[in-house]
């Protein structure tokens, strides 16, 4: 790295510390283990949302198939745990002891070959991340090298998620079918169902998330991150400058997929099972929503988005089970229409408004309108200066500026 590379500005460092305090101190202090476990589950989605910030917010690549990678990671972990739970003693009532129960119900008499590596924990850890990443690489090479992007990419990834779901459900002898892989008990002999295990797993999960955040920040601040933004806004110019655009896209897509896989594995550990309902289209879109609500340009925003939407989902469905879909739908629409940069965008504009007001107060202008640079710049204007686009401060100007024009088209 060149000199002058700062990973975190002071403001960002404070945000990071606040988030860390929230995850490691506040939640464990105020929530019982049951709620804490729920928060842990939400935070596994944050891995996906953070990956999407890089991939979608910065790279402009909207994947509607993140559930695919989340699921592959989760299934990897679930397969290991299931094998550990299916000792010959524990399964002696089966016709073939020693294989997972659902295989026995489906008249399998031997463990299929692709399950064999999951007897070993180190191998599981490797495969759990490597398989989804390789998959992402394959998709990326096929698509980005041919300059497929935008909407097409979204629809194709969505279709892939749908295909994997049908496949998992259809091959129930090998995958557990629609029930998924259930009744997971221990990890290397350690009972993951107890309260103390849940407590520890929550912290492991939080630690991994922090590490993921730092890694993402590193990518974002590095040259790759800057190029991604430039590509998102004027792909051709980057290409004409001599960069291989596709490789950067493939990298970031794989990176996001690896994050999803970690999230999926932690999900399995904390929830205790994995099923195809986290692989398909609906969960994949929901994951995009977490990111959109939090703010597609803010790594921290994505974490808060995942927490907030899931928390709202849980509590709304507890108190108004029949209304929560209205609320969810309304939230999506509101976020897209009114707050294209999500919570983080709202926070930024409020913060800067307060800052301005404070500065302006001596001159007696209490209702100073937001400065023109504050969101109101038409997208077209920002596009005219792609060089400037790489600057973090202006990134949030790039999305949704046109709504202030009042017309759909210009």
Question: Pick from 137, 243, 311, 324: which binds other proteins (CB under 8 A)?
Answer: 324
What distance in Å separates the CA atoms of residue 189 and residue 393, rounded to the nearest whole number?
A: 49
Q: How many residues bind other proteins (CB under 8 A)?
A: 82
Q: Is 310 helix (H, G, I), strand (E, B) or coil?
A: helix
What distance in Å separates the CA atoms of residue 347 and residue 151, rounded to the nearest whole number?
A: 29
Residues 6+ apart with CB under 8 A from 403: 337, 340
Q: Which residue stretch of 71-79, 214-222, 226-234, 269-277 sits at the interface with other proteins (rule: CB under 8 A)? A: 269-277
User: How big is the chain, counted in residues?
Assistant: 410
**Under the criterion CB under 8 A, does residue 331 sit at the interface with other proteins?**
yes
What distance, in Å, lies between the first and last C-alpha atoms of the chain? 41
Helices (H) and strands (E) in the chain, counts: 19, 2
Q: Which residues pair with 190 in a beta bridge?
A: 187
Measured from the CB atom, the residue of 28 and 173 that comes closer to other proteins is 173
Measured from the CB atom, the residue of 15 and 91 that comes closer to other proteins is 91
Site for other proteins in 158-187 (CB under 8 A): 158-160, 162-163, 166-167, 169-170, 172, 177-180, 182-183
Site for other proteins in 362-391 (CB under 8 A): 379
Q: Which residue stretch of 71-79, 128-136, 141-149, 216-224 sits at the interface with other proteins (rule: CB under 8 A)? A: 141-149
Site for other proteins in 42-101 (CB under 8 A): 62, 64, 93, 95, 101
How many angstroms separate the Cα of 163 from the Cα of each of 67, 72, 130, 158, 383? 12, 13, 20, 9, 37
Residue 181 DSSP class: B
How many angstroms separate the Cα of 344 from the Cα of each of 51, 62, 268, 392? 16, 19, 29, 13
What does residue 186 show for φ and ψ, rounded to 5 degrees? -130, 155
Site for other proteins in 386-405 (CB under 8 A): 399-400, 402-403
**Under the criterion CB under 8 A, does residue 134 sit at the interface with other proteins?**
no
Q: Which residue stretch of 224-232, 247-255, 319-327, 351-359 sits at the interface with other proteins (rule: CB under 8 A)? A: 319-327
**Under the criterion CB under 8 A, does residue 152 sit at the interface with other proteins?**
yes
What distance in Å separates the CA atoms of residue 357 and residue 368, rounded to the nearest whole number?
A: 7
Site for other proteins in 236-265 (CB under 8 A): none
Cβ 38 to other proteins shortest distance, Å: 6
Cβ 140 to other proteins shortest distance, Å: 11
Cβ 244 to other proteins shortest distance, Å: 18
């Amino acid at each position: 790295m060149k000199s002058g590379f700062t990973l975190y500005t002071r403001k960002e460092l404070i945000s990071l510390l606040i988030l860390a305090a929230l995850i490691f101190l506040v939640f464990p202090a105020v929530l019982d283990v049951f709620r804490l476990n729920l928060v842990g589950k939400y935070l596994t989605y944050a891995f996906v949302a953070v990956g999407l910030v890089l991939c979608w917010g910065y790279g402009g690549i909207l994947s509607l198939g993140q559930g695919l990678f989340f699921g592959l990671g989760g299934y990897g972990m679930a397969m290991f745990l299931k094998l550990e739970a299916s000792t010959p003693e524990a399964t002696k009532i089966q016709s073939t002891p020693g294989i997972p129960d659902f295989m026995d119900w489906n008249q399998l008499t031997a463990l299929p070959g692709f399950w064999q590596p999951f007897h070993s924990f180190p191998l599981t850890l490797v495969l759990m991340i490597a398989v989804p990443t390789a998959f992402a690489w394959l998709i990326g090479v096929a698509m980005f090298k041919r300059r497929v992007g935008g909407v097409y990419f979204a629809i194709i990834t969505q279709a892939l998620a749908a295909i994997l779901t049908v496949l998992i459900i259809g091959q129930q002898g090998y995958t557990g079918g629609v029930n998924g892989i259930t009744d997971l008990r221990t990890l290397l002999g350690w009972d993951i169902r107890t309260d103390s295990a849940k407590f520890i797993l929550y912290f492991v999960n939080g630690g991994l998330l922090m590490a993921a955040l730092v890694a993402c920040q590193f990518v974002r601040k590095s040259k790759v991150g800057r190029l991604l933004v430039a590509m998102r806004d004027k792909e051709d110019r980057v290409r004409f400058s001599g960069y291989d655009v596709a490789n950067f896209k493939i990298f970031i897509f794989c990176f996001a997929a690896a994050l999803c896989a970690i999230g999926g594995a932690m999900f399995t550990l904390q929830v205790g099972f994995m099923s195809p309902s986290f692989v398909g289209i609906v969960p994949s879109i929901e994951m995009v929503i977490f990111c959109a609500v939090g703010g597609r340009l803010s790594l921290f925003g994505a974490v808060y988005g995942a927490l907030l939407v899931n928390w709202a989902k849980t509590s709304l469905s507890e108190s108004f089970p029949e209304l929560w879909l209205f609320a969810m739908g309304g939230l999506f629409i509101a976020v897209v229409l009114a707050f294209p940069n999500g919570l983080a965008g709202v926070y930024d504009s409020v913060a800067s408004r307060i800052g301005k007001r404070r500065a302006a107060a001596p001159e007696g202008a209490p209702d100073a309108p937001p400065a023109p640079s504050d969101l109101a710049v038409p997208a077209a204007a920002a596009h005219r200066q792609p060089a400037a686009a790489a600057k973090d401060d202006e990134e949030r100007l790039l999305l949704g500026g046109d709504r202030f024009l009042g017309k759909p088209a210009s």
